[in-house]
Amino acid sequence: MTALPAHPPALPGHPHLHYEAGELWLERVPVHRLTERFGTPLFAYSRASMLAALSAYQQAFEGREALICYAMKANSSLAILQTFVEAGCGLDIVSGGELERALRVGVDPAKIIFSGVGKTRAEMRQALLAGIGCFNVESVAELDTLHAVATELGQVAPISLRVNPDVDAKTHPYISTGLKGNKFGIAHTEALDVYRHAAQLSGLKIHGIDCHIGSQITEIPPFLDAMDRILDLVDLLESDGMHLAHIDFGGGLGIDYQGDVPPAANILWSALLNRLDARGHGNKRILIEPGRSLVGNAGICLTEVLFEKSGDTKNFLIVDAAMNDLPRPAMYEAYHAIVPTLLREDATRIYDVVGPVCESGDWLGRDRALAVRPGEQLAVCSAGAYCMSMASQYNTRGRAAEVLVYGENVQLIRERETPSDVMRGERLWSPVTTPGTPSAP
């Protein structure tokens, strides 16, 4: 370990991850200290990175009436939500469970917006009673149901319609949401009629218009196209006598996973706000719902190399993190950079990095050049968004622990799940069950 490689591996997109004397550090902490204390697999997030990502958005909106609603589906761990809420954000939720998390961290309910195509009546009730700021409604059936639920409660539900602008976000088909063929939103061509219908329902009050065209978008033009389509509609609706207090422009800005070069949030938003001004809507309140771009490059997942295995055609590194911890490669063939936590002078070999789960789809990275030995650790990069929040307990693997790092400060924000945690709530079949009656606990 004397001569270190001349070129340490690239660390895409991570502002607060770096090598110092051959060791990987997150902010002011060498990551081996995290794994010594908390074990692996371990998610570690840089709080400074999260705040820096947020501040790029905040800069863009300075002097405007705007609300950044963090899309908590990206990472809904309580301390992550707390960080954004304490920095002034609202929250974008998609379920009753997310609403409970939001309330747990003390967000002002008026700063909560509720997205999603399939809200249940119970969730609508729960959100109305909590006093959330806006429901983003995605169909006529949902509109009618929400009207009925609000009327039963003697309330008026604040709404906007999520309009599908039919633009191509040029991203992975599973995370593109603004095309005609997607299940999301109300067709652009039907929006006027649906707004007119909503205006007739006494249990609803129209607050705005909403759109979201997809995720991991790395170019500005699809956003501008969507903005134009939405503003065409706003013009049409206003000439029809409708008043829209806000425009919710969704989320979707991408991050650097593998040399991707998305625009910085302030650059994207200065282009969008210019367009808004040019078209005479600069005075409207703006809401946005960013997720990935606020947390994606703040997080890494640390994993230990268990075994090295050489086959005829492939070499494998079997690590202790798996598709249940990091589902994106298996689900979308997504690329996450994988780097050693300790640089060594050995020549690299080409490996597939795979987990212990019994599926061939359980891979984290393919054909990666690495110099690492069993017992050493790897960091899976860009793991702050859509990793822990999508993790499962498949193979009765408890979900990983999470830590938040800020300068030299390290705090455990989620304990590692034990097998008993995973089995909590399960019951054995009882031989004395009476037909038709639930078995005793």
Cβ atoms of 336 and 365 within 8 Å: the answer is yes
Comparison of 13 and 252: residue with beta carbon closer to ligand LLP: 252
Rounded least distance, CB 82 to ligand LLP, Å: 19
Candidates 123-131, 251-259, 274-282, 429-437: pick the segment binding ligand LLP (CB under 6 A): 251-259
Query: According to CB under 6 A, which one of 12, 41, 203, 250 is a site residue for ligand LLP?
Result: 250
Should residue 133 be labelled a site residue for ligand LLP when binding is judged by CB under 6 A?
no
Binding mask 359-388 for ligand LLP (x = CB under 6 A): ---------------------------x--
User: Does the annotation mark 358 as catalytic?
Assistant: yes
In this structure, are residues 327 and 107 in contact, taking their beta carbons and an 8 Å threshold? no
Which is closer to ligand LLP, CB of 355 or CB of 384? 384
Q: Rounded CA gap, 57 and 80, in Å?
A: 17
Burial of 431 (0-12, 13-18, 19+ CB in 10 A): exposed
Angle between helix axes 47-60 and 265-278 (nearest 10 degrees) is 20
Q: Which of 9, 290, 329, 384 binds ligand LLP (CB under 6 A)?
A: 290
328 forms part of the interface with ligand LLP (CB under 6 A): yes
Q: Is 307 helix (H, G, I), strand (E, B) or coil?
A: strand
Please identify which of the residues 69, 301, 358, 387 carries the catalytic annotation.
358
Distance CA 179, CA 164 (A): 7
Taking the least distance from each CB to ligand LLP, the nearer of 273 and 330 is 330
Looking at the DSSP bridge assignments, the partners of residue 162 are 210
Cβ distance to ligand LLP smaller for residue 90 or 252: 252
Number of Cβ within a 10 Å radius of residue 203:
20
CA distance 168 to 252: 12
Nearest to ligand LLP of 46, 293 (CB atom) = 293
* DSSP alpha helix (H) spans, 296-404: 328-332
Which residues within the stretch 183-212 sit at the binding site for ligand LLP (CB under 6 A)?
Answer: 212
Q: What are the residues whose beta carbons fall under 8 Å from the beta carbon of 356, sequence distance 6 or more?
A: 306, 318, 320, 322, 362, 395, 397
- The window from 186-194, 267-275, 284-292, 312-320 that contacts ligand LLP (CB under 6 A) reads 284-292
Q: How many residues contact ligand LLP, by CB under 6 A?
A: 20
Coil, helix or strand at residue 80: helix
Q: Does 355 bind ligand LLP (CB under 6 A)?
A: no
Our CB check for ligand LLP shows the closer of 53 and 405 to be 53
Site stretch for ligand LLP (CB under 6 A), options 52-60, 262-270, 291-299, 349-357:
291-299
- In the complex with ligand LLP, which residue's Cβ is closer, 80 or 318? 80
Integer Cα distance of 286 and 435 in angstroms? 57
Region from 287-295, 315-323, 372-380, 429-437 binding ligand LLP, contact rule CB under 6 A:
287-295
- Of 1-9, 227-235, 247-255, 259-267, which part binds ligand LLP (CB under 6 A)? 247-255
356 cis-preceded (ω within 30 degrees of 0):
no
Return the closest-CA partner of residue 308 out of 397, 380, 378, 399.
378
**Least separation in angstroms between CB 126 and ligand LLP:** 19
Binding mask 91-120 for ligand LLP (x = CB under 6 A): -x----------------------x-----
318 close to 306: Cβ distance less than 8 angstroms:
yes
Q: Among residues 13, 178, 203, 252, which is the contact residue for ligand LLP, using CB under 6 A?
A: 252
Q: Which of 301, 273, 336, 287 is nearest to 44 (CA)?
A: 301
Gap between the Cα atoms of 207 and 136, Å rounded: 10
My answer on whether omega of the bond before 441 falls inside 30° of 0, hence cis, is no
Of 118-126, 200-208, 249-257, 355-363, the window that binds ligand LLP (rule: CB under 6 A) is: 249-257
Nearer to ligand LLP, 147 or 292 (CB): 292
Other beta carbons within 10 angstroms of residue 210's beta carbon come to 27
Window 47 to 86, contacts with ligand LLP (CB under 6 A): 71, 74
- Cβ–Cβ < 8 Å for 363, 353: yes
Find, among 95, 170, 122, 123, the residue nearest to 389 by Cα.
Answer: 95
Binders of ligand LLP among 169-188, rule CB under 6 A? 175, 177
The catalytic site residues sit at: 358
In the complex, which residues of this chain contact ligand LLP (CB under 6 A)? Answer: 71, 74, 92, 115, 175, 177, 212, 215-216, 250-253, 289-293, 328, 386
